[in-house]
Amino acid sequence: MTDTFLIIGLGNPGREYKDTRHNIGFMLIDQIAVRLNAQGMRLQSKAIVTSALYQERKILLAKPQTYMNLSGQSVQGLLHFYKIPTENLIVAHDDLDLPLGTIRIRASGGPGGQRGMASTIEQLGTKDFPRLRLGIGRPPGRMDPKDYVLQSFSKDDMTLLPAVLDRAADAVFEFVMKGLNAAMNKFNGVAS
């Protein structure tokens, strides 16, 4: 097993999407980058990439710049370029089916309506790779989910978000150091 890990957060590029629910994957990458004091961003494989060391393991952090529905192009390009096995990849993304504050790590699975995951599965030719689902909750009333995910988080949600992102970052570090099963056992569920 290589000591290099690729952590990809899904989202949409552009200032207008910065604080939207759909960009919680980008927010997680930013949180990890700050915690690891990651230096030197570059554009590679249609993604903004930076890297850092965490307890002797190299972590590549990436935010695809293709828009959500083409994210798989970046994921596939980075995996291929760095020759990283899929078991050392984790893709973080928003999930409507989980309440805000809930994170769920899975070894594989379908896209669940998440177009960035659908693109990634298509590009990789497999659904068997780790993912970190970050709950954003369901839209209120009859609001279209497409409109909901492109809205900014509410003020109340913004107060909860730092703790959620910290816990998700801890889950990524657990995954890097102790593996997928350890991360699933310790972190699946609601943020405390």
CA 136 to chain centre: 13
Tell me the one-letter amino acid at 160.
L
Alpha-carbon gap, residue 116 to 9, rounded angstroms: 10
Q: What is the pTM of this model?
A: 0.94
Per-residue pLDDT 10s for the chain (192 aa) are 458 999 999 999 999 999 999 999 999 999 999 999 998 899 999 999 999 999 999 999 999 999 899 999 999 999 999 999 999 999 999 999 999 999 999 999 998 889 999 999 999 999 999 999 999 999 988 999 999 999 999 999 999 999 999 999 999 999 999 999 999 999 996 654
- Any idea which residue has 């209120």 for tokens? 140
Domain that holds residue 103: 4-190
CATH number at residue 38: 3.40.50.1470
Per the document, the length of the chain is 192
Q: What is the count of structural domains for the chain? A: 1
List 42's β-bridge partners, or say none. 49
Q: Which residues are known catalytic residues?
A: 22
